[in-house]
Structure 1
């Protein structure tokens, strides 16, 4: 069995600001569970102008009571791959855990694009699936836990992005008033 999650959200910020905030989103007060983020590979495709990036993210998690003893360490390594096309103003990301994948695999796709109804806003479509092959009658429970944690995490992620976006807006306002020269 597989559990699915889908959500569309709109940031009231332009695409340039939202994609910048994506790269600057850690650390933020809503992501204290993120231990580190490392760029593994980054290059611009010379034919298309698309920026391709692979990052490794270390997150600290919390196990449910029924999960104690099943996993030794609740930390998880996450691989994040992204494609940014400045010509079409789209960014597509794929994020998936590489730790504990036998128990539960979480794959998330996000598409960031200019909102078709307001070019000053950015639309983000998130799709995820949670798959468990754990067995022993726990598959449904593991997947249910995973999808709930994912939905809760997605809400916190939006708050974190909004926090970073507001910081970007404040710096732009200060720079525009001559207070910042960076």
Structure 2
């Protein structure tokens, strides 16, 4: 089974500020589980101006102890890879991330996009689609899928909160947001697919 999460949020700041903040947000004391970020590739296309980056993140293993009894899950750290394409002229960015740890057991990936809002060009729309598929662990698969979905949902909310805090610290108050400018929704699919 493939579990998914869709996130939509409007940041009340211009896209260039939001994108720059996202690309430099980790590590931060606001997120204790991201231990280290290493840029392994960075280039700018001289014709299009597109900025490409590939980063590797080292994160604390947050899998609960009762699940770590499965020896495969008892690792000291979790590694993630993120690729980003910043289209500076269009004031948009696309990101793709995936978990490298346990790649033979689980497929966890996210596709994200930042773009100016059609409602107000000084605001930024953020859309993210994440998927989780657990294989090869037998009856524990359903438990791991449930836990992974809760982690992905909590991580989505936390990431937005951290971004809002960093934007306020760097640029002051943005335009006052509406009472609820975030939407998180779960999706489930029985058919196996991947986001790439």
TM-score (norm 1): 0.88
Say if 2:4 is the partner of 1:4: yes
User: What does residue 89 of structure 2 align with?
Assistant: 87
CA RMSD of aligned residues (A): 1.4
- Whether the aligned pair in 2 keeps the contact of 1:90 and 1:114 (CA below 8 Å) is yes
**2: CA distance, partners of 1:103 / 1:86:** 37
User: What does residue 69 of structure 1 align with?
Assistant: 69
- Other structure's SS at 1:138 match: helix
**2: CA distance, partners of 1:149 / 1:89:** 30
Q: Which has the higher contact order (CA 8 A, sep 6+)?
A: 2
**2: CA distance, partners of 1:81 / 1:137:** 33
Say if 2:63 is the partner of 1:60: no
131, 134, 143: which one aligns with 1:132: 134
Stretch of structure 1 that moved more, 46-55 or 31-40: 46-55
Say if 2:163 is the partner of 1:161: yes
- Whether the aligned pair in 1 keeps the contact of 2:132 and 2:148 (CA below 8 Å) is yes
User: What does residue 176 of structure 1 align with?
Assistant: none
Gaps of 5+ in 2: 173-196
**2: CA distance, partners of 1:167 / 1:38:** 24
- Whether the aligned pair in 1 keeps the contact of 2:113 and 2:128 (CA below 8 Å) is yes
Count of residues in Structure 1 that have an aligned counterpart in Structure 2: 170
- Whether the aligned pair in 2 keeps the contact of 1:104 and 1:142 (CA below 8 Å) is no
Gaps of 5+ in 1: 171-182
